[in-house]
Structures are given as structure tokens and as C-alpha cells.
Amino acid sequence: MFPVARPRRLRRTAAIRDMVRETSLDARDFVYPLFVRPGQGVRNEISSMPGNYHFSVDRLIEEVASAWEDGVRSVILFGLPSKKDETGSEAYDDEAAVQSAVRALKQSLPDLVVITDVCLCEYTSHGHCGVVKEGTVLNDVTLELLARVAVSHAKAGADMVAPSDMMDGRVGAIREALDDVDCPEVSILSYAAKYASAFYGPFREAAGSAPQFGDRRSYQMDPANAEEALLEVGLDLEEGADIVMVKPALAYLDVVRRVRESYHVPIAAYNVSGEYAMLVAAADNGWIDRERAILETLTSIKRAGADIILTYHAREAARLLR
């Protein structure tokens, strides 16, 4: 009790604060999300996500090589197709942008961890994450397509595939398909507890993946539910997920903490596009200190219990931590 107890003693100097700090950030925990599209020489800034770009494969390689120099060791790729159709067939085209990017990245940076987002919404004309019939997103038919996407990414050389669709049973279907084509070493990072969130707004503009009718509430989780996140994570682990993710991160730090306390596997959290856009917009207006806000945000996600953070700040934060 005061005056014996004086917590300020351990805040007196920077070296003492460094010594007693409980949470530390490490660039090796960051995954850098990138958007790849067909073409050559393309580097177009995404208006809703300043500082992020649509890259063609050649320019993507340059960006990732620079990010590697900054200390980034892992990327997750999202693809933009040259054409969309009902079943998102370009998602499982071996010659599409993502598959080409995986091959090129693995060749130029063999030690880079290459993760691919496995979903159909960027590739379907209706913008939903699965096959649609009479206005309903069908679950089981979609699994076959997702498995084809994952296999196509694995054959290109991806280290991990990350299904983000929220269909039931997709982790098991993907695991089985990967093993069938002799890719037992490819890991699955599942978007296990993915919420139907307003914070994906900027991404949908970036990926051109906004649903053309309805919304994603019949497959993504209700923001009000946390117990259900534990169910989702448990099911994905039973089906063979190697890493489980909570998404978004900031409005769901309690969920990250609960998953941390319930399961003994690596946990990822996705610091999503809306979280990025809010911070950048406030900083651009001079309302918050950009660098401090980035590091504080990432620290909070780590402190909540995430081992791995997917973040559009990855490259900048890695530079700040050097």
C-alpha cells in the first residue's frame, strides 16, 4: 500500500520501462497483405487504403523485396481477376495472378513465408464467397471449389493457405484435398472466427468484392457472439487447421483473449482494412500521431494474445521497430 507501493518507480527511466515491459512487437510476427492483379508494370494506389496498391506480379516482387529488407518475413496475397463469373473460376486457374505471384515470390525470396487467401468473393460476379443458387449461398458445393483453389495455390508453392469464406467444413475439405495431391506439408491458417463486419469496407473496394445482393451474415459471424467463436475455432482445429485467426482484431480483442486462453495453438488476428483506414485518415488530418498509434494498436493485439498479426502497417511497423 502507498507509500510503500509506488508503481511509478518502475516507470522512472526508459531503460527500466524497457526492462519491465510485458509485451513486445517483432516484425517476424507480422503478415503483410498484398493485392495482385494481371498485367505488367502496374502499381495503382487503392483510394480507400492509402499506401496500399494493386500490383502486377513484376511490381509486387519489388515491393516484397523492399519489405523483406525492412524485416517483413511473411505476406498474404489477395487476387484480382481479369474476369468474374458465377463460380469464380479464375480463383482456381493455375495461370492467374495469385498463382503466378506465388511462383515468382518463391523464386526470388525462397525464405519468405507465402500465404494465400482462399476465397471466391473477388472472383464471383455476385461477390459472394460461395456458389449462389436462388439467392442462397450453398455450402457443400462451395467446398469443392475452395479445395480446388487451395490445391492450385499449393501447387504454385504456397507455404500456407488461408480460407476466409466461412463455409462449414472447408478446413477439412481443404486438408483432404491437399493431402490427396501430395501436399501434406502445406499448412492451413483458417479465418476461424470471422465476423460480419463493417470494418471490411475499404477492402471490398480494394478487392472489388462487395456482394451484389444481400450481405454476408448467413455465413460470417454475428458480432455479438463470443462463445460461438470458441465453437468455430474448435471445429477448425478438429478439421486440421494449423493456425486459427480472429478477424477483425480491434473490436474483437476479447475474442482473441478467450481463444488464447482456450486453445494451445498459434493464434492470428487480422488488423483489417477499416481499422487501417481509420487510423490513417485521423493521422492525415493531424488528429493522432501516426507512428505511435500504429505501434500502440499492434501492441494491443499482441497483448490480447495474438501471436501473429496480419496488418497493412506491416512494412511501416517493421521499419519503426528496426
**Selected range binding ligand PBG among 59-67, 116-124, 151-159, 222-230, rule: CB under 6 A:** 116-124
Does residue 129 belong to the site contacting ligand PBG (CB under 6 A)? yes
Give the residue, chosen from 119, 156, 237, 314, that forms a contact with ligand PBG under the rule CB under 6 A: 119
Determine the Cα–Cα distance for residues 18 and 281; give it in Å rounded to an integer: 30
From the centroid of its chain, how far is CA 285? 27
Is 83 designated active site? no
Does residue 203 belong to the site contacting ligand PBG (CB under 6 A)? yes
Q: How many residues bind ligand PBG (CB under 6 A)?
A: 12
The cell numbers describing 203, all together, are 477492402
Catalytic residue among 84, 133, 155, 247: 247
Nearer to ligand PBG, 100 or 271 (CB): 271
Q: Are strands 160-163 and 187-194 parallel, antiparallel or unpaired?
A: parallel
Does residue 195 belong to the site contacting ligand PBG (CB under 6 A)? no
Closest distance of CB 147 from ligand PBG, Å: 16
Residue 31 to residues 28, 63, 224, 300, Cα–Cα distance (Å): 8, 14, 27, 16
**Selected range binding ligand PBG among 87-95, 113-121, 138-146, 148-156, rule: CB under 6 A:** 113-121
Q: CB-side exposure of 10: number of CA atoms within 13 Å?
A: 8
Contact 221, 232 (CB under 8 A): yes
Residue list 150-169, contact with ligand PBG (CB under 6 A): 164-165
Contact 46, 37 (CB under 8 A): no
3-state helix, strand, coil in the chain (%, to 5): 45, 20, 35
Nearer to ligand PBG, 121 or 178 (CB): 121
Helix (H, G, I), strand (E, B) or coil at 311: strand
| CB-CB neighbours of 108 under 10 Å | 13
Does residue 30 belong to the site contacting ligand PBG (CB under 6 A)? no
Does residue 273 belong to the site contacting ligand PBG (CB under 6 A)? yes
Determine the Cα–Cα distance for residues 81 and 296; give it in Å rounded to an integer: 35
Does residue 90 belong to the site contacting ligand PBG (CB under 6 A)? no
Nearer to ligand PBG, 21 or 192 (CB): 192
Is 247 designated active site? yes
* Degrees to nearest 5, angle at CA 209 with 175 and 318: 70
Which residues have a Cβ under 8 Å from the Cβ of 135 and sit 6 or more positions away? Answer: 213, 214
**Selected range binding ligand PBG among 18-26, 115-123, 224-232, 297-305, rule: CB under 6 A:** 115-123
Give the residue, chosen from 121, 150, 160, 269, that forms a contact with ligand PBG under the rule CB under 6 A: 121
**Selected range binding ligand PBG among 170-178, 198-206, 221-229, 254-262, rule: CB under 6 A:** 198-206
Helix (H, G, I), strand (E, B) or coil at 250: helix
Closest distance of CB 9 from ligand PBG, Å: 42
The DSSP call for residue 2 is T
Residue ranges that bind ligand PBG, judged by CB under 6 A: 117, 119, 121, 129, 164-165, 200, 203-204, 209, 272-273
Could you list the active site residues?
Answer: 194, 247
